[in-house]
């Protein structure tokens, strides 16, 4: 498996897609039940292949990622050959960016000396999607990029 197995909840959400996936392999509902009961390792492989296909489809469409922790914000723009990072770091623990109050504090104190801005570019390794997946695994969320675009304009990039 290249990425990670989907959770039970994700499989439930994608139930119809999984049925279609099995159908592309000419596996009927009865055959699937038989595989699960009599060949659990084969069933596990099918779940893993489906999970990788879903992840591949999702990761291929990612344009922006956000990772917000109590005193740092990492905003990523996934470009064709590299990833652009805008990061904000709180010098002292004056706020918690993961809370509504902390985000309001950030708005009110954006240009203060309490916040450091970083701007960087990183080329992908040989596997762009794996690089993106690692950031998602570390807690980043896939977004539409509004926050990235706001800060990109602010810092004049």
Q: Looking at the domain assignment, is residue 14 inside a domain?
A: yes
149/96 same-domain check: yes
98/44 same-domain check: no
Q: Which residues contact 22 (CB under 8 A, 6 or more apart)?
A: 28, 32, 46
Q: What is the pLDDT of residues 64-78, one digit of tens each?
A: 999 999 999 999 999
Domain count, the chain: 2
98/132 same-domain check: yes
133/74 same-domain check: yes
> Does residue 57 have a pLDDT over 90?
yes
For 36, the domain range is 8-61
Is the whole model's pTM more than 0.75, yes or no?
yes
Q: Looking at the domain assignment, is residue 3 inside a domain?
A: no
Q: What is the pLDDT of residues 83-108, one digit of tens each?
A: 999 999 998 888 899 999 998 998 88
Q: Looking at the domain assignment, is residue 2 inside a domain?
A: no
For residues 140 and 67, is the Cβ–Cβ distance under 8 A?
Answer: yes
């Amino acid at each position: 498996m290249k990425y990670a197995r989907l959770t039970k909840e994700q499989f439930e959400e994608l139930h119809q897609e999984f049925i279609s996936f099995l159908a592309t392999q000419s596996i009927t509902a009865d055959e699937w039940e038989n595989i699960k009961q009599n060949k659990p390792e084969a069933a596990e492989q099918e779940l893993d292949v489906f999970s990788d296909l879903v992840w591949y489809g999702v990761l291929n469409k990612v344009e922006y990622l956000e990772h917000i922790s109590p005193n740092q914000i990492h905003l990523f723009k996934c470009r064709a050959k590299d990833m652009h990072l805008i990061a904000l770091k709180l010098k002292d623990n004056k706020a918690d960016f993961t809370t509504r109050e902390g985000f309001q504090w950030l708005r009110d104190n954006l240009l203060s000396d309490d916040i450091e801005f970083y701007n960087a570019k990183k080329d992908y390794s040989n596997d762009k999607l794996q690089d993106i997946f690692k950031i998602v695994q570390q807690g980043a969320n896939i977004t539409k990029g509004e926050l990235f675009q706001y800060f990109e304009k602010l810092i004049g990039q």
